[in-house]
């Protein structure tokens, strides 16, 4: 049985790098990203296509929703050598699995 994510909001100091997050506001609302870095108030998000590891999106930590309990298949992809391609594959895998869950 596949265990899917729970999404919730955390305080900025509780956010960890290498977690998935969903944008809650802005022109990128509902987009899925991987948190590359964080600082006091902001997180730096990548998606492998428009926001690469070299050029992450700076976003206020209050405007994201953390996604926890990712399926094992997704975490295995992220454990590979981190590159834009692996980030893109992990997000695609998560979205496909999440769509399957919503249809059930």
Strand segments, DSSP code E, in the chain are 6-8, 20-23, 32-38, 42-46, 57-60, 64-68
Structure tokens at 29: 């609302």
Considering the entire predicted model, what is its pTM?
0.81
Boundaries of every domain in the chain: 6-103
Structure tokens at 65: 């929703």
Structure tokens at 53: 């590891």
Q: Which residues fall within 8 angstroms of residue 48, CB to CB, at 6 or more apart?
A: 34, 84, 85, 86, 87, 88, 89, 91
pLDDT digits (tens, 9 = 90+) for 39-79: 989 999 999 999 999 999 999 999 999 998 888 989 898 88
pLDDT higher for 40 or 1?
40
Of 1.25.40.10, 2.30.40.10, 3.40.50.720, 2.30.30.30, the CATH number of 6-103 is 2.30.30.30
């Amino acid at each position: 049985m596949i265990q899917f994510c729970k999404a919730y909001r955390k305080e900025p100091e509780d956010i960890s790098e290498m977690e998935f997050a969903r944008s809650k506001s802005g022109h990128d609302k509902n987009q899925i990203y991987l948190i590359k870095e964080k600082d006091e108030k902001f997180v730096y998000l990548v998606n492998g296509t428009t926001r690469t590891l070299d050029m992450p999106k700076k976003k206020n930590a209050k405007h994201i929703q953390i996604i926890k309990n990712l399926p094992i298949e997704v975490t295995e992809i992220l454990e590979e050598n981190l590159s834009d391609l692996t980030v893109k594959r992990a997000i695609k895998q998560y979205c496909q699995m999440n769509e399957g869950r919503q249809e059930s």
